Amino acid sequence: MWRGLVRSAASNLRHSRSYSSAVPLPSIIHKRGIDVLHDPWFNKDTGFPITERDRLGLRGLLPPRVVSFEQQYDRFMESYRSLEKNTVGQSYGVVSLAKWRILNRLHDRNETLYYRVLIDNIKDFAPIIYTPTVGLVCQNYSGLFRRPRGMYFSAKDKGEMMSMIYNWPAQQVDMIVLTDGSRILGLGDLGVQGIGIPIGKLDMYVAAAGINPQRILPVMLDVGTNNQKLLEDRLYLGLRQPRLEGEEYLSVVDEFMEAVHARWPKAIVQFEDFQMKWAFETLHRYRKKFCMFNDDIQGTAGVALAGLLGTVRAQGRPLTDFANQKIVVVGAGSAGLGVLNMAIQAVSRIAGSGANPHFFLLDKDGLLTKERKGIDPAAAPFAKSVAETEEMGLREGASLVEVVKKVKPHVLLGLSGVGGVFHEEVLKAMRESDSIKPAIFAMSNPTTKAECTAIDAFKHAGENIVFASGSPFENVDLGNGKVGHVNQANNMYLFPGIGLGSLLSGAHYISDGMLQAAAECLANYMKDEEIQMGILYPSINSIRDITAEVAAAVLRAAIGEGLAEGHGDVGAKELEHMSEEEIIEHVRRNMWYPIYSPLVHER
């Protein structure tokens, strides 16, 4: 149960919150009494030792027995397990929200214990604090709201953001996840309720990348919502106005980015769940100016590419064969286009710039060809020419079934946000694939929006497929002791490492080379024996390990490109002189791990 490395208190405290107010020794924190108990960053509940109770004015505010961290941990897990028992037979929504509530209450009260149970039970808890339950939490946010978490900047705050940013109590922030709530998972525009996504992503940053929870900041940019139901909901907590558009919209994002940069010039900003037009626009606008990335475009692309390369290996083919793979991508949004852009780059690296990849792109109106009217410029490079389409017996707007039947793809990859779009006929058509091991990636989230379920994929497309989904599914029992392995193709395998590696590099922007290094690291992480069994991604139980490797790869790439400026007391020169082993050791040393650190100096 007690996995992972236990850091020394001193090293944990190096990243602790520091205070500008003059603090007389012996206290390490400036708060006293009930304020300490009400601060989840420092609270140890019944775990406060007698010396700290004395010196922080806690005597009498707690029952007398001092309970160890291990006992507190076991107590929480017992109540969690009994909640599981007591909710057997109830609906998914009721059970998962009950689980979310119990975890959220701990999060509100005692962050050290919260992150420890999260890290140690990540396989069980990720589906609650992350996809799929986080989607349900966002949908029910107004009703579930008890306490705020993170910061909210709204269209009404124009002109005020530079001063508002100083309302955040931490002196240092390393990692920000920002959304405008316009495309929350596959659930559409959820307005201010989308704040659950940055919170969930940052929980993964703490659990996987060891970013200190005192240095994370979830942010909601509330520029209104076009969701009529929310606008009419009397409990809705966001601005009741249609979304800002055009220059008005961009000026709000600009102001926020400048405010963040002014206070924390080295903070990394992850853009998350923005509708496509703003996802691309803001990425182009800020990517060389600030240290930022768009997770849905860039993080997803790297995870998908790692899976696609794994698929080639699973077929027993050399990686150069990637250039010959026929890949049908369903969904021409920020994620689908991000994947195709990165896949095209990979093909030209592997097979030279003259290679002609066999990629097919569909959106809600079917196969995209050059004949499409009003085609989005971001999708245009992937539209098929008339000659190519005719040669295959296809046409503009051809349906998914037609495309799969004619193309016989090696890979069918969904990022459409439409549950069940890989229906029985589509999956059965995959049996005629030209691959001996066709791959089906149903990457849309949450589970209800997956293009197909794992069971249906193995049932209709055959037992020899490789399967991956964005939200978790159980492995499938194929009978006779055989198991259909379910991979979770989710950007959670990359964004924490991209963020941590970029942070430690101190680079002023995140280059394509850094992102490519992250994807390659994930692709190379899996052993051939695993790949042969259809296992394309590591178990989520190893997410801390894979994240350290990814972060080291990103850091090495930044050093190699001369972008690394260093972080904290480790400068560019020191980074340049580190060996590969020293870099990974440096990354691991900088990963926060939850233990109770002393809050008073020893006399």
Ligand X SMILES: NC(=O)c1ccc[n+]([C@@H]2O[C@H](COP(=O)([O-])OP(=O)(O)OC[C@H]3O[C@@H](n4cnc5c(N)ncnc54)[C@H](O)[C@@H]3O)[C@@H](O)[C@H]2O)c1
Binding residue positions:
183, 272-273, 296, 445, 490
Active-site residue, selected from the candidate residues 44, 99, 201, 326: 201
Q: Exactly one of 295, 363, 520, 530 binds ligand LMR (CB under 6 A); which one?
A: 295
Q: Which residues are annotated as a binding site for (S)-malate?
A: 183, 445, 490
List of residues 6+ apart from 67 with CB closer than 8 A: 45, 46, 47, 75
Nearest to ligand X of 52, 189 (CB atom): 189
The answer to the question of residue 362 lying near ligand X (CB under 6 A) is yes
Nearest to ligand LMR of 194, 213 (CB atom): 194
Site string for ligand X, 545-584 (x = CB under 6 A): ----------------------------------------
Q: Exactly one of 384, 410, 449, 588 binds ligand X (CB under 6 A); which one?
A: 449
Please list the residues that pair with 442 across neighbouring strands.
Answer: 414, 469
The answer to the question of residue 189 lying near ligand LMR (CB under 6 A) is no
Q: Are 111 and 199 in contact (CB under 8 A)?
A: no
**Nearest distance in Å: CB 268, ligand X:** 18
Please list the residues that pair with 567 across neighbouring strands.
Answer: 570
The answer to the question of residue 296 lying near Mg ion (CB under 5 A) is yes
Site string for ligand LMR, 544-583 (x = CB under 6 A): ----------------------------------------
Q: CA gyration radius for the chain? A: 24
Active-site residue, selected from the candidate residues 114, 130, 205, 537: 130
Q: Which residues are annotated as a binding site for a divalent metal cation?
A: 272-273, 296
Q: Exactly one of 186, 224, 409, 497 binds ligand X (CB under 6 A); which one?
A: 186
201 given a catalytic annotation:
yes
From the list Mg ion, ligand LMR, ligand X, none, partner contacted by residue 32 (C-beta under 5 to 8 A by kind): none
Q: Distance between CA atoms of 41 and 43, rounded to whole angstroms?
A: 6
The answer to the question of residue 255 lying near ligand LMR (CB under 6 A) is no
Which residue carries 């792109």 as its tokens? 361
Nearest to ligand LMR of 189, 296 (CB atom): 296
| Closest residue to ligand X: CB criterion | 333
Burial 219-250 (b: 16+ CB within 10 A, else e): bbbbbbbebeebbebeebbbbeeebbeeeebe
**Nearest distance in Å: CB 296, Mg ion:** 4
Could you give the residue ranges of the DSSP H alpha helices within 130-275?
Answer: 133-139, 141-144, 161-164, 196-209, 228-232, 246-263
Q: Distance between CA atoms of 281 and 427, rounded to whole angstroms?
A: 35
Site string for ligand LMR, 135-174 (x = CB under 6 A): ----------------------------------------
Q: Exactly one of 343, 412, 413, 443 binds ligand X (CB under 6 A); which one?
A: 443
The answer to the question of residue 364 lying near ligand X (CB under 6 A) is yes
Sign of the torsion formed by the C-alpha atoms of 334, 336, 339 and 342:
negative
Please choose, from the candidates 232, 230, 211, the residue with its C-alpha nearest in 3D space to the C-alpha of residue 222: 230
Q: Are 51 and 603 in contact (CB under 8 A)?
A: no
Please choose, from the candidates 363, 342, 329, 292, the residue with its C-alpha nearest in 3D space to the C-alpha of residue 519: 342
461-480: contacts with ligand X (CB under 6 A) = 470
The answer to the question of residue 363 lying near ligand X (CB under 6 A) is yes
444-483: contacts with ligand LMR (CB under 6 A) = 445, 470
Residue 333 class from Cβ within 10 Å (0-12 exposed, 13-18 middle, 19+ buried)? Answer: buried
Q: Strand 482-484 relative to strand 366-367: parallel, antiparallel, unpaired?
A: unpaired
Distance of CA 211 to the CA centre of its chain: 14
Please choose, from the candidates 68, 31, 27, the residue with its C-alpha nearest in 3D space to the C-alpha of residue 46: 68
Please list the residues that pair with 413 across neighbouring strands.
Answer: 329, 441
73 given a catalytic annotation:
no
Q: Distance between CA atoms of 471 and 490, rounded to whole angstroms?
A: 7
Nearest to ligand LMR of 466, 489 (CB atom): 489
389-428: contacts with ligand X (CB under 6 A) = 415-418, 421
Site string for ligand X, 261-290 (x = CB under 6 A): ---------------x--------------
**What is the CA angle 198-109-256, rounded to 5?**
30
Which residue carries 């220059």 as its tokens? 247
Given the rule CB under 6 A, which residues bind ligand LMR?
130-131, 185, 273, 295-296, 445, 470, 490-491
Given the rule CB under 6 A, which residues bind ligand X?
183, 185-186, 276, 296, 300, 303, 330-336, 362-364, 415-418, 421, 443-445, 449, 470, 489-491
Instruction: List the catalytic residues.
Output: 130, 201
